[in-house]
Amino acid sequence: MSLLEIKDLNTIAADDNNKHILNDLNLTINPGEIHVIMGPNGSGKSTLANTILSNKRYIKTKGNIIFDGEDITNLTTDKIAKKGIFMSFQSPIEIPGITVAHYMKSLKESLTGEKVNIYQLSKEVEEKMEKVDLNKSYNQREFNEGFSGGERKKMEMLQLLMVNPKLAILDETDSGLDVDAIKTVIKGIKAYKNDNNAVLIITHSMKVLDGLKVDKVHLLIDGHIVEEGDISLAEYIDKEGYNKYL
**3.20.20.140, 3.40.50.300, 3.30.1130.10, 3.50.50.60: CATH of 4-99+165-245:** 3.40.50.300
Going from the C-alpha of 173 to that of each of 26, 154, 155, 178, the distances in angstroms are: 23, 9, 11, 12
Task: Order across the sheet with 198-202: list the strands.
Answer: 85-88, 167-171, 198-202, 34-38, 216-221, 224-229
Q: Give the end-to-end CA distance of the chain in Å, rounded to a whole number.
A: 34
What is the rounded average pLDDT of the residues 12-35?
Answer: 95
pLDDT at 64 > cutoff 90:
yes
85-138, pLDDT tens digit by residue? 999 987 788 999 999 999 999 998 988 889 988 888 888 999 999 999 899 999
What is the pLDDT of the chain when averaged over all its residues?
93
8 A C-beta contact, residue 26 and residue 6: yes
Q: What is the pLDDT of residue 172?
A: 85
The predicted model scores a pTM of 0.94
User: 23-60 burial by CB neighbour count: b if 16+ within 10 A, else e?
Assistant: bebebebebebbbbbbbbeebbbbbbbbbbbbbeebeb
Report DSSP state, residue 137: G
> pLDDT confidence of 36, banded at 50, 70, 90?
very high
The model's pLDDT over 127-185, given as tens digits with 9 standing for 90+, comes to 999 999 899 999 999 999 999 888 888 899 999 999 999 999 999 887 778 888 888 88
**Amino acid 1: pLDDT:** 85
114-125 as b/e, with b when 16 or more CB fall inside 10 Å?
Answer: eeeeeeebbeeb
